Amino acid sequence: MIDYKFILENFPQISTKTRDHVITYLDSAATTLKPKAVVEAVDTYYLKECANVHRGIHTLSEISTDKYEKTRDLLKDYLGAEHREEIIFTKGTTESLNMVARTYGEENLKPGDEINISYMEHHSNIVPWQLLSERTGTVLKIMPINDQGEIILEEAFKLFTSKTKLVSVVFVSNSLGTINPVKEIINKAHEVGAVCLLDGAQATTHEKINVKELDCDFLALSAHKMFGPTGVGALYGKKVLLEKMPPFMGGGDMIDLVTFEKTTYNDLPYKFEAGTPNIAGVIGFGAAIEFINSIGLENIIAHEQELLEYGTKKLKEIKGLRLIGEAKHKASVLSFVIEGTHSHDIASFTTQDGLAIRTGHHCTQPLMKRMNVPATARASLSIYNTKEDIDKLYNSLMKMIDIFGL
């Protein structure tokens, strides 16, 4: 399904050498590698077509604006949104989540209202709600998870009451790979009159997303998890909600009319896009979406699932290694600990063999506490990985265990 020769041609970083080893990149949950088409799209903007977007009537501004807005249309179709105005460009998932907290949250939540999140949330889907609670007097409720890293729906749904006004949950866990049953969570949220926000950062290349079918109210995402540039992402929001929300920031492009007495605001989506945006990043984001479409998301998912199955089986052969997160429905993330070894030592050893894995709490400290580990080593897989990469990880870990006498 995947033409690996094509992948090698489009991801030159795969052939990069360090310490006499070709890099084996197993850190895609932190950020994916960027194909040539994305880099070229960014270079073309800066080298040949650089101009500010919107309002300009000269040729370069029109070219840049067309490409910038084309990405909005591409993302609308990719997510299955109904209106292009429902796509708001941001710096990424973190800003998108904070935007909802500061606009929808402050406008609609009052003291005593409850916000439900889960134990496996990234810090960016915990801290904004804590800050909101401090400002508004809302109460944070935590949906429990089991030892496999799955939300216990029966227990979680007991927390959904008439006081629940907002539910914010990760679609795919960055630390565990768990694919959460978000449709059921959304339905339950709506049943009690709450809105539901999905952290889609890790989901956008591991799951087919249709926001209309899911009926989610908001979804946050980042381009750099989708083979796109860093520092750019988007917030999807239902048009009816976005129209009622106040602006996130004030400045250029988000206004209709400014006087010293009163300012009126621009139409969607520009009401939420104050100032000169990351134009090159958004254009590169468009190239990334086109790249995914050219391969087929279903092919990417199938490839990753095959690697996940192989990697799970392979790592389980290692004595003393314990996988953290064994949900029935998982994306291509392998988090693990090895008895008698700190995760940072694992990374320090495996990097000598050219392996790029991530260690630490992965911005999910409450989850680490729940799983009773200080940190994990994490290998996260993508389209440019192969079974040979997993074999390299296996061999490096076995060598480490032999040398350390574990």
Residues with active-site annotation: 363
Q: Give the position of tokens 């254009």.
A: 283
Torsion of Cα atoms, 213 then 382 then 180 then 118, to 10°: -120
**How many Cα atoms occupy the beta-carbon half-sphere of 35 within 13 Å?**
23
Q: Give the position of tokens 């889907």.
A: 125
Helix (H) or strand (E) holding 187: helix 182-191
Angle of the 387-404 helix axis to the 343-350 helix axis, nearest 10: 110
Return d(Cα 324, Cα 318) in angstroms, integer.
Answer: 14
Compute CA distances 392 → 23, 176, 287, 397, whole Å: 11, 21, 31, 9
Return d(Cα 23, Cα 382) in angstroms, integer.
Answer: 14
Return d(Cα 191, Cα 162) in angstroms, integer.
Answer: 9
Return d(Cα 209, Cα 199) in angstroms, integer.
Answer: 12
| DSSP string computed for 352-385 | GGTEE-EEE-TT-HHHHHHTT-S-EEEEE--TT-
Sequence-distant (6+) residues with CB within 8 A of 233 are 89, 90, 91, 92, 93, 95, 96, 201, 220, 221, 222, 223, 224
